[in-house]
A and B are shown apart, each in its own frame.
Chain A
Amino acid sequence: MNLTLLMYLIPSLFMFGCGVYGFITRKNMIAIMISLELMLNSVDINFVVFNRYLFPGQLDGMFFTLFAIAIAAAETALALAIVINIFRATKNVDIQQILKLKF
């Protein structure tokens, strides 16, 4: 039995599906962010696996993943700051009850 490219794409595919499901069904803003992280992570896996299997001599997929991780970290930090600020103003993180941008 050999480990092929296909076998690594399947868990990442399921991870992305879970991210989509959580992104649509969750009402809590932090839970939506967590689902977003799942989707980003599955894309990272795809980058790395494609790079490693199809172009083993090059490093482009690895660097894409590296930058994607950095950008995801920055984005999460800012988004959570915004969520906490909204919570301070409204005592709520439910996405369906926050209808105003300015309080």
Chain B
Amino acid sequence: MESVGNIILYFVIAIAIIVFSVLTVTTRQILRSATYLLFVLFATAILYFQMDYQFLGAVQIAVYAGGIVVLFVFAILLTHKPGADAEPLSTHRRWLGLSAAVLGIAVCGYAVFSHAAFCGRQLATVADLDMATIGHFLLSTDKWGYLLPFEAVSILLLACIIGGVVIARKR
């Protein structure tokens, strides 16, 4: 049995995620779309905190909400007139998108609900995950270690920096 606060928090998160994701893809103003994306990302971060992954929630807020959304806002302000509405969608395109989304949700929903017994598991309590454990996992070469992806990501970020400089450079 969960505490009442946890259940209320779950419903707030779930409703916020669903409502704001729908608003993100349906609003006509692109800057609002980015703002709703920010709300979705915050709700996701709260979900991570609820799952007891504090570090992941902090990363989500710092990288997604603090980094990516700011980048989006900069790009939007550089390329759009503020307050300009997007063109209305053609009905053909809207039907294509709606049918793809509904079909995807139906297939995945069927898969999820047909394993409802398997998915009915409850949250097991785990010991608090401290930074030292995460650091040891990230830099270990043992069976559950993640040193290779860690280094690969660092090379990827280096490539990303070089690519950014090459693309943005004045010719």
Whether A77 lies near B168 (C-beta < 8 A) is: no
Q: Which residues of B contact A28 (CB under 8 A)?
A: 30, 86
Taking A6-B119, A83-B75 as contacts, is the C-beta distance between A41 and B25 under 8 angstroms? no
Tell me which residues across on chain A come within 8 A of B94, comparing CB atoms: 25
Interface size class of A (residues with CB under 8 A): 35 or more
> Nearest CB to that of B154 among chain A residues?
A70
Residues in chain B near residue A67, CB distance under 8 A: 146, 149, 153
Residues of B in contact (CB 8 Å), total 81
Partner of B153, one of A31, A56, A71: A71
Q: Which residue of A lies closest to B138 (CB)?
A: A63
Pull 24 A–B residue pairs with CB atoms less than 8 Å apart, ordered by A.
Answer: A2-B122, A3-B6, A5-B120, A6-B119, A7-B10, A7-B14, A11-B18, A14-B21, A15-B17, A18-B22, A22-B97, A25-B94, A31-B33, A62-B53, A62-B56, A69-B64, A73-B67, A73-B68, A74-B160, A80-B74, A81-B163, A81-B168, A83-B79, A87-B79
Q: Is the interface of A mostly helix, strand, loop or mixed?
A: helix
**How far is the CB of B67 from the nearest CB of chain A, in Å?**
6
B7's partner among A1, A24, A60 (CB-CB below 8 A) is A1
Min Cβ gap B77→A in Å is 11
Could you tell me if A30 and B164 are in contact, using CB atoms closer than 8 angstroms? Answer: no
